[in-house]
Structure 1
Amino acid sequence: MSTVTVQDFAKELGRPVEELLTQFKEAGVAVTKPDAAVTADDKVALLSYLQTKTRGVASGEPRKITLKRRETTELRLGGGRGTPAKTVSIEVRKKRTYVKRDEPEILQPPETPAEPDEAAARAAAEREAQARAAAEAEARRQQEEAERRQREEEAQRQRLEAEAAARRAEQEHARLLQEDPLYRAKWEAEQARIRAAENVRRAAEAARNLPAAPSALAMPPPSAPGPSKRAGGRERAAPHGRSELHLAEGKSGRRERKAKKPSGRVRVENVHVFEKPVAPIVREVEVPEAITVGELANRMAVKATELIKVMMKNGVMATINQTLDQDTAALMVEEFGHKARMVKASDVEEKLEQAVSGEPVDVATEPRPPVVTIMGHVDHGKTSLLDFIRKTKVAAGEAGGITQHIGAYHVRTDKGIITFLDTPGHAAFTRMRARGAQVTDIVVLVVAADDGVMPQTREAIQHAKAAGAPIVVAITKIDKPEADLDRVKADLAKEEVIPEDWGGDVQCVGVSAFTGQGVDALLDAILVQAEMLELKAPIESLARGTILESSIEKGRGPVATVLVRAGTLKQGDVVLSGPHFGRVRAMFDENGKPVKQAGPSIPVQILGLSGAPDAGDDVVVVADERSARELAQLREQKLREQKLAQTSALRMDQVFAKMGEGEVKQLNLMIKADVQGSAEAIADALRKLPSDEVKINVLSTGIGGISESDVDLALASKATIIGFSVRADAGARKRIQETGVDVRYYSIIYDILDDVRDAVSGLLGTETREQIVGIAQVREVFRSSKLGAIAGCLVIEGSVQRNLPIRVLRNQTVIYEGVLESLRRFKDDVNKVEAGTECGIGVKDYNDVKVGDQIECFQRIEVRRTVAAAA
């Protein structure tokens, strides 16, 4: 017979060895090790022990089982206006114990009853009854404990719901008090009514010598936040986040019957009576320069119909949406017994500006780079000088060889950073040069050594002196044989610009943009002048700057060139400029590379504004986004009102002029340019053209390509559209062909002024005009080792002809003007390609053609000049 060990027996039973050893020990079997032998008697002893333990005979305790149950529910707490909803999880745990008692054994009476057996039976029955009672008491206790926990959890859930509702009601009440004048007025009126009722109640009870009842002021006001009471002590929030109307303690909304006292007197309980306020409520009402009837009624907390009745009694007929002037509104406020406080529109704007700028903070200032403006006469070499400094070819891309925009660049020299502003030199850009002088620290006056002081040179000197900026004179073209420095200095002395070597305080440096002679000396002179000025600006503060130029580009939206004056402008900042507001989505330097931030005296292009701001407007990084949005809307509304007022005044002037002087011819013009500064300058120059017979009327100025709506407006107003470095889109070109609206395209401002001057002066004869022959769309670009970039094109309008001048358009903006070098169909050279035909076009000396560009082929023709005027 084989020996069975504890380990084998545990494996057979499927129980752990340690548990089996413990049970053997409790059964009184001397087995202590897993490898000890187990006999049959040991197994019988273990079985008897387990049966006794299971039945509970040894301990006398009944068998019982405990069941646990867990329930989880979710409660959704609806949020108020502007408050998100919340979900609260509620878990209820229940525990119950069931006891199974053995049936009492029925003892058969012995044949010969014995006294000792009866006593033992009674003792056993008593013990069994006690055990049963103890088990029942324990079960009741556990059940009561589970119910108590459930009640506590329910009370906790209700308390959390009430607190959440109270918080929502408080937030809604605070928001309404701040944003809703009518709600605030009603709440103040209710508070005043409660105080008046309390005063009346106290006076009445003092007269009757009765004890004072609890005050109604101790309860929440009618519109105050807070949970409302219900039966059972539970609290709940009223609908829409507002609290319910509370009554004084001990009162309800129902009338109670009269009760008799033992003395026979009748005591009236909780009888509602009307309580008249003891004094009228006097408010201080802000009266702006213009206010509607409805808004004035809201500020006085009266109904609009009541205000209209009072106005009719005073002889003023108005509707609820009609606007009242300040004096009439003040009279109506005094008529209702309130105090009127006169406010101006500028006061509101100043308050918003202060909120936008934030509290002034003392920030340490640090040295900043100087801002240098290059000014002078046209074709005196300003851009060429700056081009040599920057080591790029800026002048090569200018139409007609002149600068027509404000260019902002910062260059790094061995002695520090210098920011240059390159302004146009033509007389039409006076306003642009004036803006450049207003933001500059140092003016570099460029004078050609072979030409001397010219009219625009004198004008630049006047702008620099008006701005209080020091002048450094750069005498260019000293490498030419006809250069005469002494004559230039003599001309400058006549304009009160005395050179240092003549005993004055103005540094004069001779330079040559062709050879680079004197450029280092000029940079040294600029930095010396900057050190004398001790230029400083805060860096760790909200940025402030100036708009130098703005435009609207396809795919990018409004683009603004900003010169940072103080602080650090970062990507993501919220900025405000005039009536436009937005967040800086992207920033680029003058080379088109993206940057994350820009410090003082650094020019950058920013994207993200709501519109194209005017050149010269201030740019600020706002501290309060909400106030900034309100200020932008206020400025936009004022600007719209000013335009409407100007339009109305202009029409009246025209009517009176026609009545007094008879018919006057008008030349209506619409200007569309690529940037804001060019449009402003062209409009200003055209308005200044003298004419006694024809009046020049600039109806509108805008930036971007000519659209179909522009053509419709020109058709309605009988105007001529002037496109400066922009073109009409496909829809507008089709509309132009249908309507015959006169559209002139220009790339140089000289041509615009000359054409308009000749037209209004009545000089008839021949004129040179540009006629568009055809337009080709670039579909693919191929590279050739001999010819460079070859544009694979599809002719979409007209025809493309060899040996005609062309322009390259990108987003309806002219980016290059040159000559068509080659024209091919497959491998053959052709002279002409008609619309709907593919061809290969090579542009001479230009390799930056991209897919999607348009190549415009045109020719210059001489036509008979006519005056395009409308009576």
Structure 2
Amino acid sequence: MNVMSSVMSSVMRGAQRLSLAPPALLRSCSSPSFLCPARSPAALLTCPINRKYASKLFKDQKKQKVKSKVDKQEVEIRSRMTVAALAEAMNRDFDHVVEALLNTSVDLDSLELDSVLEEKWIKEVVTRSGMKFRWANLSEKKERPNRDIHRRPPADPSHLVPRPPVVTIMGHVDHGKTTLLDSLRKSQIVSTEAGGITQHIGAFLVQLPSGEKITFLDTPGHAAFSSIRARGTNATDIVILVVAADDGVMNQTVESIQHARRAAVPMIVAVNKCDKPQADPQRVKQELLAHNVVCEEFGGDVQAIHISALKGDNLLALAEATVTLAEVLELKAEPTGLVEGIVIESRTDKGKGPVTTAIVQRGTLKRGCVLVAGKSWGKVRFLFDENGKVVTEAGPSSAVEVVGWKELPSAGDVILEVESEQRAREAVEWRMYEEEQQKLQEEQSVIELKQKVHLEEYRRERAELAHLSWKQRRSALYQVNKTRFSLRTSERTERERLSLPLIIKGDVDGSVEAILNILDTYDAQQQCEMDVVHFGIGDVSENDVNMAETFRGSIYGFNVGASSSVRQLATKRGVPLHLHSVIYKLVDQLKDELSSKLPALLSEKVVGEATVLAMFDVTVGKKKVPVAGCRVHKGQLDRRLKFRLIRGRDAIWEGSLATLKQHKDDVQTVRTGMDCGLSVDGDFSFRAGDVIVCFEELDSPQATSWDPGF
């Protein structure tokens, strides 16, 4: 009967909880409803309907238990998982993993998102979370098919036709490279450049009076644009090295020679500014000998042409020398088939979108061609020459602006034509996937290295503390971490201020690349950290201001603008906005801002010195105060400043004076040759012969030691 009562009690509770018996059926039951507390448990069994629903209740409860076991979440794990990877696999956050590892031997204080967990702790976290795990079968992972594209094989010699040479003009800044092109094209390129110096790479087609065509690349000579000069030599057939006859071989002259030699490109030396009275072309050619550039008159194979780019003297001879060298090189290309080329420069145009300046190296570029460059692709909508005129096609060695890119390629990317847009997407997706995999491998290597270093430090500290008692070990650990534990909020804030987040905006990809290369020369060990949080191409936008405000950083723009609304927003939010059109002025501004972030240097200025002649006590109230009788022998003593007591060679006290008297009067200063009495706070005794130094602490601004090299 007890068993029956227990069963029926369970039935009643279950029925009340799950409402198994609908009200209509209960009303049709011959016995009163089992929900009525007046009925006994035995009466419930006499009702067939209640027996039916009691049976259904037990079956549903059994199914529910089975279902709860089946629905248990399954987590795919693998060896050496990081905390972040495990949390993602479990669909939980970092705190959940930490809570699951409580009361274990895992050092939770050093646990971070990139910390690698041991196998047993991975299993423990999953189990404690009420989940079950299964090992990932890495052998079943299918490799993604390589869908990249590459250059075509070399063309059949019978399909090759002569092409114009691509000539790069290189040299030191202000040696007349752009003026030379200006004279060849009868244009005004120089007037468009800020500060009279070239800060971009340009591509221009020049047709000589004899009918020959030459594609010239103009590269910057400033030290900041080394990467642009290197890119120019990689896309060229001939290098014209411009050296000023009055200036000689300079730093960027030597660098240009090295770029040409690495690219295995022949050179022609153009000795410029020969019209100046102080010009010495012979000295220039002799200086070039030191860099293994041997001109023809010294028995070498390098042509040297004396010119004056400003007056146009002897330019025809330079052009003929270029054409002659091109004929010797027998430059040819295949004008048919899929296009191949290289991105010389890239920028974002408000009306055109992403635009690239490209040199066609193979095939004929036309409207409608589908191109892939780096991790970008596009369908050619328009082609423009260097004068902004629309062209229908561009053959080998042609320099054109290409419009139609989905994303902006990077300068230096190889351009390859594909059959369809689908093929272009596949190639770009593969390249992005490959880059992602490479980053994952690099990050994994960094994580493993950090774990190794951390483990070595942990073992070393454990070994050093192994022989100590528990109390000694706790004291030693406190001393090791004392700086971190005792750091006040104000000090932490001060340390956080010693960083300069930057947002870099440039007009073209090459300019941004040059600025980033300059910033890479900044030593990470400098007192103020410099971090580029964002860089891009185009004018400064409101998003840039919002990001700078979030990171408390500054915006630097090179050859870009900012609308009045953006400037007002930056001023309102206190975001420094610096716009420059000359590279060295941008760098100078950046150095000044870095210097302003550095803490001031504390220096001392000695104001006066005095010697203790005698000691005596003065009664103040009921207390005797030791007083030192002194004579000032240098400068003056100022009570408002700080003092230092020197005994022998040691400084044994430093602080402020309690009193400074002359005769019986309290005074602020005592000058040279005067006697005085002074006392200090605390129980301190002077001796005859001690030297009292009065000094002033001064804060002097600190300048960054960063030297970008120009």
| TM-score, L = length of structure 2 | 0.57
Which one-letter code corresponds to 2:582 in the other structure?
A: I
* Contact 1:561/1:603 (<8 A) preserved: yes
Whether 2:521 is the aligned partner of 1:688: answer yes
**Selected match of 2:181 from 371, 386, 389:** 386
Whether 2:548 is the aligned partner of 1:752: answer no
Aligned pair in 2 of structure 1 residues 750, 360: CA closer, same or farther (>3 Å)? closer
Aligned pair in 2 of structure 1 residues 433, 360: CA closer, same or farther (>3 Å)? closer
**Selected match of 1:536 from 307, 328, 332:** 332
Whether 2:369 is the aligned partner of 1:573: answer yes
In the TM superposition, what is the alpha-carbon distance from 1:487 to its structure 2 partner?
A: 0.9
Which one-letter code corresponds to 2:361 in the other structure?
A: R
Whether 2:534 is the aligned partner of 1:700: answer yes
CA distance in 1, matches of 2:215, 2:266: 16
In the TM superposition, what is the alpha-carbon distance from 1:542 to its structure 2 partner?
A: 1.4
CA distance in 2, matches of 1:642, 1:660: 40
1:267 aligns to what? none
The RMSD of aligned alpha carbons is: 3.9
Which one-letter code corresponds to 1:491 in the other structure?
A: E
2:421 aligns to what? 625
Write the mapping of 1:263-412 to structure 2, written as runs, cut at 5 A: 328-331=136-139, 333=140, 343=143, 348-349=145-146, 351-353=147-149, 362=156, 364-412=159-207
Aligned pair in 2 of structure 1 residues 744, 402: CA closer, same or farther (>3 Å)? same
2:501 aligns to what? 668
In the TM superposition, what is the alpha-carbon distance from 1:644 to its structure 2 partner?
A: 8.5
* Contact 1:759/1:866 (<8 A) preserved: no
CA distance in 2, matches of 1:660, 1:522: 72
2:264 aligns to what? 468
Aligned pair in 2 of structure 1 residues 316, 405: CA closer, same or farther (>3 Å)? farther
Q: In the TM superposition, what whole-angstrom CA distance separates every residue of 1:380-406 from its partner, at most 9, and x where no partner exists?
A: 000001100010000011000000110
In the TM superposition, what is the alpha-carbon distance from 1:423 to its structure 2 partner?
A: 0.2
Q: In the TM superposition, what whole-angstrom CA distance separates every residue of 1:173-217 from its partner, at most 9, and x where no partner exists?
A: xxxxxxxxxxxxxxxxxxxxxxxxxxxxxxxxxxxxxxxxxxxxx
1:427 aligns to what? 223
In the TM superposition, what is the alpha-carbon distance from 1:634 to its structure 2 partner?
A: 2.7
In the TM superposition, what is the alpha-carbon distance from 1:353 to its structure 2 partner?
A: 1.6
Aligned pair in 2 of structure 1 residues 480, 643: CA closer, same or farther (>3 Å)? farther
2:562 aligns to what? 728
Write the mapping of 1:564-603 to structure 2, written as runs, cut at 5 A: 564-603=360-399
Aligned pair in 2 of structure 1 residues 536, 353: CA closer, same or farther (>3 Å)? same
Whether 2:536 is the aligned partner of 1:740: answer no
**Selected match of 1:557 from 349, 353, 357:** 353
Whether 2:345 is the aligned partner of 1:511: answer no
Write the mapping of 1:179-190 to structure 2, written as runs, cut at 5 A: none
1:443 aligns to what? 239
Aligned pair in 2 of structure 1 residues 328, 730: CA closer, same or farther (>3 Å)? same
**Selected match of 2:275 from 479, 483, 496:** 479
Write the mapping of 1:129-148 to structure 2, written as runs, cut at 5 A: none
SS for the counterpart of 2:149 is helix
* Contact 1:428/1:681 (<8 A) preserved: yes
Q: In the TM superposition, what whole-angstrom CA distance separates every residue of 1:470-499 from its partner, at most 9, and x where no partner exists?
A: 010000000000000111011100111011
Aligned pair in 2 of structure 1 residues 442, 661: CA closer, same or farther (>3 Å)? farther
In the TM superposition, what is the alpha-carbon distance from 1:713 to its structure 2 partner?
A: 1.0
CA distance in 2, matches of 1:549, 1:457: 22
Aligned pair in 2 of structure 1 residues 638, 672: CA closer, same or farther (>3 Å)? farther
CA distance in 1, matches of 2:171, 2:551: 39
In the TM superposition, what is the alpha-carbon distance from 1:718 to its structure 2 partner?
A: 1.7
SS for the counterpart of 1:353 is coil
* Contact 1:549/1:677 (<8 A) preserved: yes
Aligned pair in 2 of structure 1 residues 764, 359: CA closer, same or farther (>3 Å)? closer
CA distance in 2, matches of 1:712, 1:610: 26
Identity across aligned pairs (percent)?
43
Aligned pair in 2 of structure 1 residues 744, 650: CA closer, same or farther (>3 Å)? farther
CA distance in 2, matches of 1:495, 1:641: 43
Q: In the TM superposition, what whole-angstrom CA distance separates every residue of 1:594-651 from its partner, at most 9, and x where no partner exists?
A: 0000000000001100011100001111124322211112323455676799899999
Which of the pair has the greater relative contact order for Cα pairs under 8 Å at 6+ separation?
Answer: 2
Deviates more, 1:729-738 or 1:483-492: 729-738
1:828 aligns to what? none
In the TM superposition, what is the alpha-carbon distance from 1:687 to its structure 2 partner?
A: 2.0
CA distance in 1, matches of 2:290, 2:508: 37
Aligned length: 441
Which one-letter code corresponds to 2:554 in the other structure?
A: T
Aligned pair in 2 of structure 1 residues 479, 572: CA closer, same or farther (>3 Å)? same
In the TM superposition, what is the alpha-carbon distance from 1:694 to its structure 2 partner?
A: 2.1
1:209 aligns to what? none
1:786 aligns to what? none
Q: In the TM superposition, what whole-angstrom CA distance separates every residue of 1:498-523 from its partner, at most 9, and x where no partner exists?
A: 11001111111110012211111111
CA distance in 1, matches of 2:538, 2:188: 25
In the TM superposition, what is the alpha-carbon distance from 1:555 to its structure 2 partner?
A: 1.9
Write the mapping of 1:707-856 to structure 2, written as runs, cut at 5 A: 707-760=541-594
Write the mapping of 1:31-50 to structure 2, written as runs, cut at 5 A: none
CA distance in 2, matches of 1:626, 1:330: 30
Aligned pair in 2 of structure 1 residues 572, 457: CA closer, same or farther (>3 Å)? same
CA distance in 2, matches of 1:475, 1:764: 46
Write the mapping of 1:3-42 to structure 2, written as runs, cut at 5 A: none
Which one-letter code corresponds to 2:573 in the other structure?
A: T
* Contact 1:671/1:721 (<8 A) preserved: yes
Which one-letter code corresponds to 1:353 in the other structure?
A: I
Which 5+ residue runs of structure 1 have no aligned equivalent? Answer: 1-289, 293-311, 319-323, 334-339, 766-863
Aligned pair in 2 of structure 1 residues 649, 715: CA closer, same or farther (>3 Å)? farther
* Contact 1:693/1:760 (<8 A) preserved: no
CA distance in 1, matches of 2:276, 2:155: 55
CA distance in 2, matches of 1:750, 1:409: 26
Aligned pair in 2 of structure 1 residues 739, 498: CA closer, same or farther (>3 Å)? same
Which one-letter code corresponds to 1:376 in the other structure?
A: G
Aligned pair in 2 of structure 1 residues 641, 500: CA closer, same or farther (>3 Å)? same
1:168 aligns to what? none
| TM-score, L = length of structure 1 | 0.47
CA distance in 2, matches of 1:386, 1:359: 35
* Contact 1:687/1:697 (<8 A) preserved: no
Which one-letter code corresponds to 1:589 in the other structure?
A: D
CA distance in 1, matches of 2:412, 2:557: 23
Q: In the TM superposition, what whole-angstrom CA distance separates every residue of 1:58-110 from its partner, at most 9, and x where no partner exists?
A: xxxxxxxxxxxxxxxxxxxxxxxxxxxxxxxxxxxxxxxxxxxxxxxxxxxxx
In the TM superposition, what is the alpha-carbon distance from 1:416 to its structure 2 partner?
A: 1.0
1:548 aligns to what? 344
SS for the counterpart of 1:504 is coil
CA distance in 2, matches of 1:385, 1:446: 9
Aligned pair in 2 of structure 1 residues 366, 741: CA closer, same or farther (>3 Å)? same
In the TM superposition, what is the alpha-carbon distance from 1:736 to its structure 2 partner?
A: 1.1
SS for the counterpart of 2:311 is coil
Structure label with greater radius of gyration: 1
**Selected match of 1:494 from 281, 287, 290:** 290
* Contact 1:686/1:753 (<8 A) preserved: no
Aligned pair in 2 of structure 1 residues 709, 482: CA closer, same or farther (>3 Å)? same
